[in-house]
Amino acid sequence: MTRDLTWLRGFLHLDALQQQERISDTAIRLQEDTVLAALSILDREPGVLLADEVGMGKTYQALGLLACAFEIARGEDRKPHVLVVTPGPDLNHQWLRSAQTFQQKGFYGGFPKDTFHEVGHITELPDATARHRVVFAPINVFTSARGHAERGFLLDLWFTHLELAGPTRAAIRRRIEASGVQVCDGHHFLGRTAVDFGRLPTAAFKGERGGHAGLDDLYNSDGVDAFTNAWRVKKALDRVRFQLVRKVLPKFDLLIVDEAHKLKNPWTVQAQAVAQVLGGRFKGATFLTATPFQLGVEELRRVFDLFGCASEVRPGFPDDVNALFHSIADYQRTYEAFEEAWRFADSRQASAFAEWYACAAVAPLTADPRQAVPGLECIDDPNVATLARYVWELRRLKDHGVEHGFRRWAIRSLKPGKRERRHDRPLPIAPEEGAVVPLLMYQRLMTARARSGVRSHVEAAETSIASSFAAARKGAMVQEQGASDEAVAYQSVLQKLLVAADDVHPKVISVLETAMSAADKWEKSLLFCERNATIDSLHEEIEKRWMDRLHAQWERMYPGSDMEAVFGAGSGDERKVGIFQRWAMRFTRGQDELSVAFRESYPHTLFLRPDESALPLELWGDVSMLVADANDVLRSQRSSGTNATRLDYRMAGRCVDVAVARWFERRRTKVFGQYGGLPLRILDPSYPRLGIGLVEDAEEKDMAGATDLSIEWTLSEDTLRTLLAPSRRSIWFPFREQMTMWDATERVAIVEAVRTFFTRRQVPFVVDVLERAGRSEATSASFRDALEAWWTDPTCPWRRHLGEFLEYLPQLGKEERAEVLRYALPLGEFAARGNQGERRQKIQDAFNTPFFPMILVGNRTMQEGLNLQRQCRRVVHHDLRWNPADMEQRVGRVDRHGSLAERWLTETGGADGHILIDTPLLERTIDPSRYRRVKEREKWLDFLLGVPPEIGRGNLDESEVPPLPSALTEDLRVRLGPLVDGRSDIGRSPV
């Protein structure tokens, strides 16, 4: 069968979440074309590089390829094996969640039960690959078994291989242990004995040419004395380990490697592991990376080297790879010469060049470097003629070398209008008076240490002082001793200066003001730093400023109240309860009407028709009967001491719910068939005790308490009217249609998570309502009246945010939703730190809601694997990275399919759909020079991977360079989009 679009759409539905994520038809078609093009490449090559820009759905493209592998195997009546290698444990679990969502949301329904499995340790890998068709493994899994007993086992295998005598074995062990490498007796590895592994090939003990030495190589070079070098011994043992793992793994139909650029260094353990463990064990490879090379294009060669490890590699593959890199090198040299010449061209020469190119561009171009430059004889100016020669050579190298070579193995699509969509602003910052002295003293300390001959990591020191005074204070430049008396004196003075100046660092102040100003407009900000001390400093200062703002808001309601009076202080027996805490407790205390303020009023949300906004008038004519019914239900319940002797609004509300349900059962039986049968649950005898979830949770335990007493209070008509009044429809009434998609358990979880969030200390919801009520000592009734009046206004910001939150939840898988509701949303933190690995997923889930956090501060651990685009479009590079790929990865957290920017672009017609990227550059520091260097490197990263050239890009000076003719920039663009249906570059289509 022909593998075309019709074939693909017969089983793969990449548009399954198109409406919810608001992804364009063009973007979906691009993903489909990419999958088909990747399949075509894998038919003739050992690997394909999926290199779409960050945020364009490479994970789902890879999962689409995975689905194709299963579909093809089904047609051939066989079962496929696939291994997905991920960058680390967090992303490993995220891949598993994505695959489960891919299956659950209807992208592909052909995965058998228990297809997916994740492993965290190498000992799990053999059994997992035997039992499951798709296994997700973090890259460090290949180095996770390096214990003392394992080393002993590997050594014994080698001893047996060489048939070494006992004394020689003992001598080698002594030297290894003397080097600091611990070894003890081991009898198993991967759950197998030496007999199970059998005789190993010689390759297990010999290093490869140009690689690390094997155990045989060490022994043959210096005998037993070679084993005194701990580093060489560990590398040799790694090789044996990799060969053993390789021996027990099956052959994989498809190997998928995420963030493949992490394997750029062939000397790392991870790169060695992939090459040696998986070499010859996979038929085809799919590598995912938006940044195939970072500091230099030669890094890309490692990707092709790993492709060459496939079980089947066509003849001529290495030659084609070498030819590509030769073309790239020639292209770079020629372009740099052209760029240098163009910078000196004046407007007259630029105009003459443009006229020549308009005519020459239509001339046929061949691969022959001897082809004459058309129209060259008509150019009078020798400088223009030089430019023409360069350009003709560039086009030849691009068309017949670079582009042709890349397209053999790579597919890369660009987001249309990337430059127009991104507002990238370098922001020079001049140090003010309070910061000048610490900056100067720090420079003098660096000079003094250099004069004293003490080795220092100058770049790290310069990064620290440019980042924050806190980072500089904790850095080695200030903390390390052993320099000259002059340097020690500077250190002593600086330590005091940096502490005193900690809150006046110009860049910290600038970033704080930018982020807080955005938060005032309810816009989220993503801040990237290089120093943990800066993250802590920023986070602390943001929280301080936010709490000051909250205190000012509370003080308007309670004049004269200081911070302690509002928010309390202390803990345990010495804890002082503040005004906020007293209000927050009222929402959980059953004797206060506010305990049901954020609860869902089921009579209004489950029993009314869509066209009704209030309970029917005839129901109010039966109030006495409703009260009697509610009290009849109440008398059958048991509760704790306080709740048994005093009115408990939570229990009263549930008894009224039952009475109303019985009334509707007699008058409108059809309502019990709507909303998935949820109204029937209210008639369940256990509903008053357990709620609509019909299971005991924290609230039910609180209502029941430790004792079991009869309820002494009764429910009055006034209480019933309070609970059922039109002004008590609850905050959930406008969203009753959105709530219909949830079962009882998730419905309860949503309500509880939102209630918890609204009553968190850093969330201003309660004080916002108090301001609406117009008085601080508002009664429960007046508070609810103010809330209802505000909630009926469609412009109410909290109502809008809650609606957006309910739109977001269906896009998550069940496990992800549970994480959001149970952990992420209830955090209620205005600002969060992303350098805490164990909270990565919770922070992502919370940041993607329209609620808090508003500001996320993190380091490089936040650059990859997190999708933060749902509610954020602002990125601040507080600190720069030398690597432009890292900078792109940062922005890629928010520039993705379904992003806030894309939604605003659609809603505003392009008026406000921009990604905002701020790069503060502190003058008199490393910032400006690093910015220029990064932009220079970024030029080649972009240029060779599809972005049209732009001379003068990234300049901080005011010099102007004539723009290149637009036709030339398009002709020089390397097009790597999928070649499907005769379209050479689908990426040109607008979103």
Beta bridge partners of 138: 86
Return the C-alpha torsion angle 316, 318, 322, 328, nearest 10. 90
Q: pLDDT tens digits for 51-82?
A: 988 878 899 999 999 999 999 999 999 999 99
Rounded Cα distance between 86 and 93, Å, is 9
**Average confidence (pLDDT) over 382-390:** 95
Token code pair at residue 84: 């997905």
Q: Measure the CA angle with vertex 442, ends 441 and 444; round to 5°.
A: 65
Sign of torsion over alpha carbons 893, 894, 899, 905? negative
Is pLDDT larger for residue 951 or for residue 552? 552
Tell me: pLDDT of 482 over 70: no
Q: What is the SS3 assignment for 542?
A: helix
Angle at 96 between CA 94 and CA 99, to 5 degrees: 110
Query: Are the C-beta atoms of 469 and 502 separated by less than 8 Å?
Result: yes
Concatenating the DSSP letter of every residue in 83-142 gives: EEEESSHHHHHHHHHHHHHHHHTTS---PPTT-EEE-SSGGGHHHHHHH-SEEEEEGGGG
Residue 381: pLDDT above 90?
yes
Burial of 449 (0-12, 13-18, 19+ CB in 10 A): buried
Q: Residues 385-403: what's their mean pLDDT?
A: 94
DSSP 8-state secondary structure symbol assigned to residue 831: E
Mean pLDDT check: name the lowest of 211-220, 258-267, 372-381, 587-596.
258-267
Place of tokens 């739109």: 807
237: left (phi over 0), alpha (psi -120 to 50) or beta: alpha
Dig out the tokens for 972 from the structure. Answer: 């020089």
Mean pLDDT for the stretch of residues 289-307: 82
**pLDDT band of 982, cuts 50, 70, 90:** very low
Q: What is the dihedral of CA 655, 657, 659, 662, to 10 degrees?
A: -140
Cβ atoms 412, 53 nearer than 8 A = yes
Encode pLDDT of 519-554 as tens digits: 999 999 999 999 999 999 999 999 999 999 999 999
Burial of 202 (0-12, 13-18, 19+ CB in 10 A): exposed
Between strands 709-710 and 638-639, the pairing is antiparallel
pLDDT tens-digit map of 627-681: 999 999 999 998 877 888 999 999 999 999 999 999 999 988 887 877 778 899 9
Which pLDDT band holds residue 294 (cuts at 50, 70, 90)? low
Q: Which residues contact 961 (CB under 8 A, 6 or more apart)?
A: 342, 343, 951, 952, 955
472, 506, 508, 507: which is closest to 491 by C-alpha? 472
Beta bridge partners of 639: 709
pTM: 0.82
How would you classify residue 414: left for phi > 0, otherwise alpha for psi between -120 and 50, otherwise beta? beta
Binned at pLDDT 50, 70 and 90, residue 837 comes out as low
- Distances in Å between the Cα of 551 and the Cα atoms of 585, 769, 775 are 19, 15, 16
The answer to whether residue 236 scores a pLDDT higher than 70 is yes
pLDDT at 374: 93
**Helix/strand/coil (H/E/C) assignment for every residue in 633-677:** HHHCCEECHHHHHCCCHHHHHHHHHHHHHHHHHHHCHHHHHCHHH
**888-910, pLDDT tens digit by residue?**
889 999 998 888 988 888 777 66
Tokens 């891949």 locate to: 95
**pLDDT for position 545:** 95
Q: What is the 3-state secondary structure (H, E, C) of 904-945?
A: HHHHHCCCCCCEEEEEEEECCCCHHHHHHHHHHHHHHHHHCC
Cα–Cα distance, 409 to 48 (Å, whole number):
5
Alpha-helix runs per DSSP H in 287-316: 300-307
402 Rama sector, left if φ>0, alpha if ψ -120 to 50, beta otherwise: alpha
Report the pLDDT averaged over residues 162-181. Answer: 92
pLDDT tens digits, one per residue of 570-601: 877 778 999 999 999 999 999 999 999 999 99
Helix axes 300-307, 317-343, angle to 10 degrees: 170
Q: Torsions phi, psi of 47, nearest 5?
A: -160, 160
Q: Let me know: does 35 contact 298? Beta carbons within 8 Å.
A: no
Q: Which pLDDT does position 144 carry in this prediction?
A: 63
The percent of the chain in helix, strand and coil, each rounded to the nearest 5, is 60, 10, 35
Expressed in angstroms, the distance from the first to the final Cα of the chain is: 32
Burial of 400 (0-12, 13-18, 19+ CB in 10 A): middle
User: What is the DSSP code string of 748-778?
Assistant: HHHHHHHHHHHTSTT--HHHHHHHHHT-TT-
pLDDT of residue 230 exceeding 60, the answer is yes
Q: Is the pLDDT of residue 923 over 80?
A: yes
> What is the percent of the chain where pLDDT is above 90?
57
Please write down the long-range contacts of 204-211, taking CB distance under 8 Å and 24 or more positions apart. Answer: 204/161, 204/239, 204/240, 204/243, 204/244, 205/158, 205/161, 205/162, 205/236, 205/239, 205/240, 207/236, 207/239, 211/266, 211/272
